[in-house]
Amino acid sequence: MPGWSPEPAMPAAPRGRLLVADDEVSIAAILFTTFQFLGYDVVTACTGREALRAAAAAAPDVVLLDVMLPDFDGFEVYRRLRAADVTAPVMFLSARQSTDDKVHGLTLGGDDYVAKPFDIKELVARVEVLLRRGTHPAPSCARLQVGRLELDRATREVWKDGVPVQLSATEFDVLCHLMANPGKPVSKADMLAAVWGHGAHGDFGVVETYVYYLRRKLGQELIRTVRNFGYLIST
Per-residue pLDDT reduced to its tens digit, 180-224: 888 889 988 888 877 876 544 567 888 888 899 999 999 999 999
Highest averaged pLDDT of the listed ranges 40-49, 94-103, 123-132: 40-49
CA 54, distance to chain mean position in Å, is 20
Per-residue confidence (pLDDT) for residue 98, from 0 to 100: 60
In the three-class reduction of DSSP (H, G, I as helix; E, B as strand; rest coil), residue 88 is classed as coil
Per-residue confidence (pLDDT) for residue 169, from 0 to 100: 81
Per-residue confidence (pLDDT) for residue 195, from 0 to 100: 80
Does the pLDDT of residue 117 top 90, yes or no?
A: no
Distance (Å, rounded) from C-alpha 214 to C-alpha 11? Answer: 41
Q: How many helices (H) and strands (E) does the chain have?
A: 8, 12
- Whether the Cβ atoms of residue 232 and residue 185 lie closer than 8 Å to each other: yes
| pLDDT tier for residue 139 given thresholds of 50, 70 and 90 | very low
Nearest by Cα to 134 from 156, 118, 150: 156
| pLDDT tier for residue 1 given thresholds of 50, 70 and 90 | low
Distance (Å, rounded) from C-alpha 104 to C-alpha 100? Answer: 6
Pairing label, strands 62-66, 17-21: parallel
Domains of the chain, with CATH numbers? 17-134 (3.40.50.2300), 143-233 (1.10.10.10)
Per-residue pLDDT reduced to its tens digit, 180-192: 888 889 988 888 8
Average pLDDT of the residues of the chain: 83
pTM: 0.61
Q: Which residues pair with 160 in a beta bridge?
A: 149, 163
| pLDDT tier for residue 52 given thresholds of 50, 70 and 90 | very high
| pLDDT tier for residue 69 given thresholds of 50, 70 and 90 | very high
